[in-house]
Structure 1
Amino acid sequence: MNVKPLLALWCVAALGLAQAQQSPTLRKIREAGVITIAYRESSVPFSYLDDAQRPVGYSMAICDRIVDAVKARLQLPDLERRYVAVTSATRVPLVANGTVDLECGVTTNNVERQRQVAFTVTTYVAASRLVSKKTAPIVRLEDMRGKVVTSTVGTTSLRHLQELYASRGLTMTILAARDDPDAFRLVETDRAAGYAMDDVLLAATVARSRQPGDYLISEDALSVEPYGIMLSKEDRAFKRLADDAIVALFKSGDIHKLYRRWFESPIPPNGINLSLPMSAAMRRVVEHPTDSPDPATYR
């Protein structure tokens, strides 16, 4: 009997067990046979529900690579995925308290959030801007003066509006909306002149609206927004595994196929095409991966 293959398999299994013991998240996943993934219901094209009510999108596809890495590490080919819907307000607490293992949405990596959670290397670089109607355009930040503007509870865009009000004396009325569709509806129904959110999400929202030609996105940006996959702050080993999976995606070149799939091709459920080429900032991230929360890193 050739014991070498059996010994090799035993060593792999032992290594996976040892690494799981070093990582609280991997240990929990191994014991339950389940990995819990948070998703957003309407953050096109990153994380949203398709016609069959399945979570899909760019961030979800990246998380699939991380799950594959977890399966390989733990030798669990039948690892179950459990999906949990989150909002802008609930996503950070549910990662921080361990309810979910990976948050696969549109969450900006910043210093404030890093006090509660960790982030993988950056997976997308956005900029926060405003959408408004062409009949009452907000092109520059100064155009907000004296107007009603909105953003979503728990977002960096809402915080940036509040900071502009305080630091630059931009007198405006700021409405906090429950979620992204509610915020855009305020602009659609003329209850707000502008809606502040990350430009890629605004482009997707406008493309799916009843009258896309009625809207424009501001030239001025409120901020740079580096997205990452959120995970536990207390588990460096799990972050390292997730980072390695994303860096492997970058190095293989598969990130470009994935990007074209979600940003430069028709996407479900309605076949809209955002036609957004990869930005120079994102190309730099692919060449030199970073998990920096500092916006200056991406300029």
Structure 2
Amino acid sequence: MKTTSPFVSALALAALSLVTGVSYGQDGQPTLAKIQTANMIAIGHRETSVPFSYVGANNEVIGFSQDLCNKVIDAVKAKTKHPDLRVRFIPVTSQNRIPLVQNGTVDLECGVTTNLTSRQNQVAFSDTFFVATTRLLTKKDSGIKDFSDLAGKTVVTNQGTTSERILRKMNEEKKMNMSIISAKDYGEGRVTLETGRAVAYMMDDVLLAGTRSLTAKPSDWVLVGTPQSSEAYGFMLRKDDPEFKKLVDDAMSQVMKSPEINAMYDKWFVKPVPPKNINFDFPMSDTVKKLYADPNDKALE
């Protein structure tokens, strides 16, 4: 039997993708066909991104992102006629989330990833489901009120994020002489901040509110600083797969345009959430209200 080299197969698959305009995973199938064949969908999630995507007390993936993601999973079950569809949860980080989507390991990344025009060259994004701003988390008595107060001090942020890029650019352009620590995730960032290795933590405001809820004494910490950017969160999927993207967007849009989104939002941002049952006290902004009334997948940067 004649065999085909993996390299030739990869080239042929790439050429077919260009001709058909359809994204193919490792097994040469569009996402929905891949899911149909395997009777399984691979969901990328975060481990400590409270209240969007994190691992709960019973080792289950929970959060606002996951609740929305579950609506998409239900739509996939209906589309593939697989009510018993298996769901494989795969933890991802800021560093590996894009490659894992690109190579087909993850079918849909349901975390807290910002839709950036630069990232659209690598992956596709669903409709935006949240808009945050980048600020600072610091102790109430730290003396840090805004970004200018960080000159000569140590700051922590997450590796591979918009905040890291903004912070490093600010440090270089304004000659602030900051020492920047790049944490692998929010868990490591929180420990870095709580142990005093950094005086402030720069990330998206709502995620910093989640980080604050996990500290030993949440009342000791405060969100400060002039917002440096607006972050449009979307779910990531492989590029050039219009059928799967439409299914994802339609499922999300249906929820966001319905009253159900208000209860879902309140559950995670206005009421106490696990593991410490602390209230984020993060009411829905006018920007997010407008977004839910008219969902779109536009990048803000």
TM-score by length of structure 2 reads: 0.88
Alignment of 1:202-241 (within 5 A): 202-241=208-247
Structure 1: distance between partners of 2:161 and 2:86? 30
Question: Quick one: which of 68, 71, 77 aligns to 2:77?
Answer: 71
The 8 Å contact of residues 133 and 205 in structure 2, kept in 1 or not, is answered as yes
Q: 2:249 is matched with which residue: 243, 247, 263? A: 243
Please give the alpha-carbon distance, in whole angstroms, between the structure 2 residues aligned to 1:185 and 1:251: 38
Is 1:128–1:224's contact at 8 Å kept on the other side of the alignment? yes
Secondary structure class of the residue paired with 2:87: strand
Q: CA deviation at 1:169?
A: 3.1
Q: Which residue of 2 aligns with 1:194?
A: 200
Partner of 1:143, secondary structure, is helix
Q: Tell me the CA shift for residue 115 of structure 1.
A: 1.3
Aligned-CA RMSD value: 1.8
1:11-58 Cα shifts (integer Å, max 9, x gaps): xxxxxxxx9x9x700000000000000111111110011111000110
What residue identity is the alignment partner of 1:219?
Answer: G
1:109 alignment counterpart? 115
Q: CA deviation at 1:184?
A: 2.0
For residues 93 and 79 of structure 1, the distance between their equivalents in structure 2, rounded to whole angstroms, comes to 24
What per-residue deviation string (whole Å, max 9, x for no partner) do you get for residues 132-182 of structure 1? 122223221111111111111111111110111233333311111222122
Aligned counterpart, 2:278: 272
Q: Distance in 2 between matches of 1:50 and 1:186?
A: 22
Give the stretch that moved more between structures: 233-242 or 162-171: 162-171
* Amino acid corresponding to residue 104 of structure 1 in structure 2: C
Runs of 5+ in structure 1 lacking a partner? 1-18
1:44-123 alignment to 2 at 5 Å? 44-123=50-129
Amino acid in structure 1 at the alignment position of 2:66: M
Answer whether contact 1:132 1:216 (CA < 8 A) is retained: yes
Deviations 1:211-253 (A, max 9, x none): 2222211131121111011111131211111001111112222
Shift of 1:71: 1.1
For structure 1, which segment, 130-139 or 28-37, has the greater mean C-alpha deviation from structure 2 after superposition? 130-139
CA distance in 1 between counterparts of 2:68 and 2:134 reads 22
Unaligned runs of 5+ in 2: 1-21
Q: 1: CA distance between counterparts of 2:43 and 2:185?
A: 20
Amino acid at match of 2:233: Y
Q: Between Structure 1 and Structure 2, how many residues are aligned? A: 276
Instruction: Determine the C-alpha separation between the residues in 2 that align with 1:206 and 1:252.
Output: 31
Secondary structure of 1:104's counterpart equals strand
Amino acid of the structure 2 residue aligned with 1:211:
K
Once the two structures are overlaid, the 10-residue window that deviates more, 52-61 or 190-199, is 190-199
SS of the residue 1:51 aligns to: coil
2:174 partner amino acid: R
- CA separation of 1:83 and 1:173: change in aligned 2, threshold 3 A: same
Q: Secondary structure at the residue paired with 2:192?
A: helix
Question: 1:38 is aligned with what amino acid?
Answer: G
SS of equivalent residue, structure 2 residue 54: strand
2:163 corresponds to 1:157? yes
Secondary structure of residue in 2 paired with 1:245: helix
The structure carrying a bigger helix percent of its residues is: 1
Match of 2:147 among 112, 130, 141: 141
Q: Is the 8 A contact 1:137 1:216 kept in 2?
A: no
Q: Which residue of 2 aligns with 1:253?
A: 259
Does residue 36 in structure 1 map to residue 42 in structure 2?
A: yes
What's the offset of the Cα at 1:263? 0.8
Secondary structure of the residue that 1:228 maps to in structure 2?
A: strand
Return the match for 2:292 from 273, 286, 291: 286
User: Do the aligned residues in 1 keep the contact of 2:231 with 2:300 (CA within 8 Å)?
Assistant: no
CA contact (8 A) 1:131 1:138 kept: no
Amino acid in the other structure paired with 2:185: D
Letter matched to residue 256 of structure 2: F
Selected match of 1:129 from 112, 129, 135: 135
Q: 2:166 aligned with 1:168, yes or no?
A: no
1:70-128 Cα distance to aligned partner (Å, 9 max, x none): 11111111111111111111111101111111111111111121111111010011111
CA distance, structure 2, for counterparts of residue 178 and residue 208 of structure 1: 17
